[in-house]
Amino acid sequence: MRILVVEDEKKVASFIKKGLEEELYEVDTAINGKEGLDFGLTNEYDLIISDVMMPVMNGLQLTKELRKNGITTPILLLTVKDSTKDKVEGLDSGADDYLSKPFAFEELTARARALLRRKESQKDNLLTIKDLTVDLVAHSVMRGDKEIILTPKEYSILEYLLRNKNKIVSRTRLIEHVYDFHFDSGTNVIDVHINKLRTKIDHGFDNQLIYTARGIGYIIKE
């Protein structure tokens, strides 16, 4: 799952990004509300976490603009303001939840999981193809009765391929999903990850799931 973090304090943004990535989420960061709005309108996210007090465009304005443009992605607001009036204002702007600073990271991830569960139905929490199952909440991968341990990047690639199963996914789309906007798309790192993922997912099993579309990208199919 992909999360957008909008936070003008670099240390805080870096802390949240690192922690969420350790929880196997893919994370983009924006330094103000205007940049966050651009990201939110041009990319698909499963959750947006935004500070309220920011330059250029604050979190409340960002939330209102996203909702005005039809973006229904769950939004979690972060702020040092913790009065009831401030929380009501945040929720009335279109946000789904409100967390006061300073916060424990465990609470942030718990609220994030709750919003993601609310967004996805129980059926959607499981991605399957043949005997392969990915649990999006538990971040677990099973093929038959065997648990498969993946790195965060391998997990993200597999999840994206499964969300687009039976469709060819280009290397460019995989790079945009797995890495941030500053990544060098000219490297072969995606191919390296795919080879490792294929070894874990397909090696030792009767049926192959991951295929190469030569010159284009990859596809997972039955």
- Residue 94 and residue 35 in one domain: yes
Mean pLDDT of 85-92: 74
Mean pLDDT of 149-154: 91
- Identify whether residues 91 and 36 lie together within a single domain: yes
Q: Are residues 112 and 131 in the same domain?
A: no
> Which tens digit of pLDDT belongs to each residue from 99-138?
988 888 999 999 998 898 876 654 467 889 999 999 887 8
- Taking only the tens place, the pLDDT of each residue in 16-31 is 999 998 888 889 999 9
Which range marks the domain in which residue 203 is found?
A: 126-220
* Shared-domain flag, residues 107 and 136: no
The number of distinct structural domains making up the chain is 2
Find the CATH number of the domain harbouring 96. Answer: 3.40.50.2300
Domain stop point among 63, 90, 119 = 119
CA distance 27 to 11: 15
Residues 134 and 114 reside in one and the same domain: no
Question: Is 115 found in the same domain as 132?
Answer: no
Same domain, yes or no: 169 and 111: no
81: pLDDT strictly greater than 80: no
Cα 59 to Cα 34: distance, rounded to the nearest angstrom = 10
Tell me the average pLDDT of the chain: 87
Residue 149 has pLDDT above 90, yes or no: yes
Q: Is there a single domain that holds both residue 9 and residue 71?
A: yes
Determine the average pLDDT of the residues in 11-15. 91
> Is the pLDDT assigned to residue 181 strictly greater than 60?
no
Last residue of a domain, one of 119, 148, 182: 119
Say yes or no: 11 and 65 in one domain.
yes
Co-location of 6 and 115 in the same domain = yes
The pLDDT, as a whole number, for residue 122 is 45
With beta carbons less than 8 A apart as the criterion, state whether 203 and 197 touch. no
Cα gap 30→112, rounded to integer Å: 18
3-class DSSP state of 116: helix
Could you tell me if 79 and 137 lie in one domain? no
For the stretch 49-67, pLDDT in tens is 999 999 889 999 999 999 9
Residue 101 is predicted with a pLDDT of 85
With bands split at pLDDT 50, 70 and 90, how would you rate the model's confidence at 142?
Answer: very high
Output the domain CATH number for residue 188.
1.10.10.10
Task: Report the percent of the chain where pLDDT is more than 70.
Answer: 91
* Same domain (yes/no): 87, 144: no
Please identify, among 60, 85, 119, the residue that sits at the C-terminal boundary of a domain. 119
Task: State the pairing for strand pair 210-213/217-220.
Answer: antiparallel
